[in-house]
C-alpha cells in the first residue's frame, strides 16, 4: 500500500520540477543579457545607451555622451562607460572583456572639387561667361571639405547667384535639404571668376622667322581676355613660322604665325617650266620671300629678266607657260582645203 501511494506523489513531484525548469528556461530566453558593443556609429550629435548597449530595453533612449565631430571617430574606455551606466541605474552589462569602445559620427562630406564644380555651374553662361569647364575660380576663403549631418542628403541648389563682369567677383549661395525635416543647410561662397581658354604657350623666346618645333610649344589654360579670340592651337602652331619676336611664356595667336618661307630673298632657286609633257628647269634668283603657294618675283639668271612664279617647294618656283592655241580651220569638210601643219612650240624660257 505504501509503495502504491508513494508513486503518484513522486510523479507529481517530478512534474513540478519539470515545470519549474521549463519556466526558468523560458524566462532566460525572453530576458536577453545587455551586451556592450565594440564599435558604434551615430547619425546625430548625441550618443544614447541603446547605441552602446545591445538589449538595453527601456533605457535605450537615455542620452549619455556627446558624439564626436562630424565625420570623425573617438574612443571611450569601458571602465568609464560602466561608471556612466551605473549612474543611471543600468547594471549587469556584459563587457565581453572589451577595453574601449569606438564611436564614429556619420557625415556627408562635400569636397573642394565638388564645391568648385557647383559654383562654376551656377555661373555658367551668366553675364558673358562661357561653359562651366572653362571658368577658373579663386575663392576669398578656401572652402576646404564641408561636412554636414548625414541626414543632409539634398542636392546643392543655387538660391542666389551674383556676378559682376567688370570686377569678375561672384557671390553664390546654396541650399541643401535633409531627410530629418529640419531647416535646410545654407552655404555661401564668394571670390572671383574668369573665363579661360586652352592656348599654345611658347617655352622659349623666338626671333622673327623662326620655325616652331614641338618642344617650343605647350598647352596651358589662360584667361580669355589675355589670349583674345584668335588663340592658336598647338598642333597648328608647330611647323609654322613666327612673324615677329616673341618672349617665352607668350600665348600664341593666329596672327603671330605664318607658313614657313620656302624661298628667301636673294636665294638661288630652281625655275621649273612645264607645258604638257615638256619639263624644263633653269637657275634663278629670288627677289622676294615666299611660303608655299605665294607668288614671288624671280630673276632668270640666263636671260636676266624678272618673271613671276608660284613657290611650290623649298628653293623651287614654278613658271606657268601659256599653251599655244591650234590654228583654226576654215572648213574641215572642204576637199579643196590645204592641210595645215602644226609646228611644235618650245616653252618660252624668258
Please give the pLDDT value at position 235: 87
Question: Closest by alpha carbon to 268, among 309, 295, 298?
Answer: 298
Question: Closest by alpha carbon to 249, among 200, 213, 217, 202?
Answer: 202
Name every residue whose Cβ is closer than 8 Å to that of residue 350 and which is 6 or more positions away in sequence: 300, 303, 305, 307, 319
Please give the pLDDT value at position 39: 95
Is 125:161 a contact under the CB 8 Å cutoff?
Answer: no
Q: How far apart are CA 188 and CA 139, in angstroms?
A: 11
Q: pLDDT tens digit string along 178-219?
A: 887 788 999 999 999 999 999 999 999 999 889 999 999 999
Q: pLDDT tens digit string along 52-85?
A: 999 999 999 999 999 999 999 999 999 999 999 9
Please give the pLDDT value at position 324: 59
Q: Enter the pTM of the model.
A: 0.60
pLDDT at 322 over 50: yes
pLDDT at 16 over 50: no
Please give the pLDDT value at position 12: 34
Amino acid at each position: 500500500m505504501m509503495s502504491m501511494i508513494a508513486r503518484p506523489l513522486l510523479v507529481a513531484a517530478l512534474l513540478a520540477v519539470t515545470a519549474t525548469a521549463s519556466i526558468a528556461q523560458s524566462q532566460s530566453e525572453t530576458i536577453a543579457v545587455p551586451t556592450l558593443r565594440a564599435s558604434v556609429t551615430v547619425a546625430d550629435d548625441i550618443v544614447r545607451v541603446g547605441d552602446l548597449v545591445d538589449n538595453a530595453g527601456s533605457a535605450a533612449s537615455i542620452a549619455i555622451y556627446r558624439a564626436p565631430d562630424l565625420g570623425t571617430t573617438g574612443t571611450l574606455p569601458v571602465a568609464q562607460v560602466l561608471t556612466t551606466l551605473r549612474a543611471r541605474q543600468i547594471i549587469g552589462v556584459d563587457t565581453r572583456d572589451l577595453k574601449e569602445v569606438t564611436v564614429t559620427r556619420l557625415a556627408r562630406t562635400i569636397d573642394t572639387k565638388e564645391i568648385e564644380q557647383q559654383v562654376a555651374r551656377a555661373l555658367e553662361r551668366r553675364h558673358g561667361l562661357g561653359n562651366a569647364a572653362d571658368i577658373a575660380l579663386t575663392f576669398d576663403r578656401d572652402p576646404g571639405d564641408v561636412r554636414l549631418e548625414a541626414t543632409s542628403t539634398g542636392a546643392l541648389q543655387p538660391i542666389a547667384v551674383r556676378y559682376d563682369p567688370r570686377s569678375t567677383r561672384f557671390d553664390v549661395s546654396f541650399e541643401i535639404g535633409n531627410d530629418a525635416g529640419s531647416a535646410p543647410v545654407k552655404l555661401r561662397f564668394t571670390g572671383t571668376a574668369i573665363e579661360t581658354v586652352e592656348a599654345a604657350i611658347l617655352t622659349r623666346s623666338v626671333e622673327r622667322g623662326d620655325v616652331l618645333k614641338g618642344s617650343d610649344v605647350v598647352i596651358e589654360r589662360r584667361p580669355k581676355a589675355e589670349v583674345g579670340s584668335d588663340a592658336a592651337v598647338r598642333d597648328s602652331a608647330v611647323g609654322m613660322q613666327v612673324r615677329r619676336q616673341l618672349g617665352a611664356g607668350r600665348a600664341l595667336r593666329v596672327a603671330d604665325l605664318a607658313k614657313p618661307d620656302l624661298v628667301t630673298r636673294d636665294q638661288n632657286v630652281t625655275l621649273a617650266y612645264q607645258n604638257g609633257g615638256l619639263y624644263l628647269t633653269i637657275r634663278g634668283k629670288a627677289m622676294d620671300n615666299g611660303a608655299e603657294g605665294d607668288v614671288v618675283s624671280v630673276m632668270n639668271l640666263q636671260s636676266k629678266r624678272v618673271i613671276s612664279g608660284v613657290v611650290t617647294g623649298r628653293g623651287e618656283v614654278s613658271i606657268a607657260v601659256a599653251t599655244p592655241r591650234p590654228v583654226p580651220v576654215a572648213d574641215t569638210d572642204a576637199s579643196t582645203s590645204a592641210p595645215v601643219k602644226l609646228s611644235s612650240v618650245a616653252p618660252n624660257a624668258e
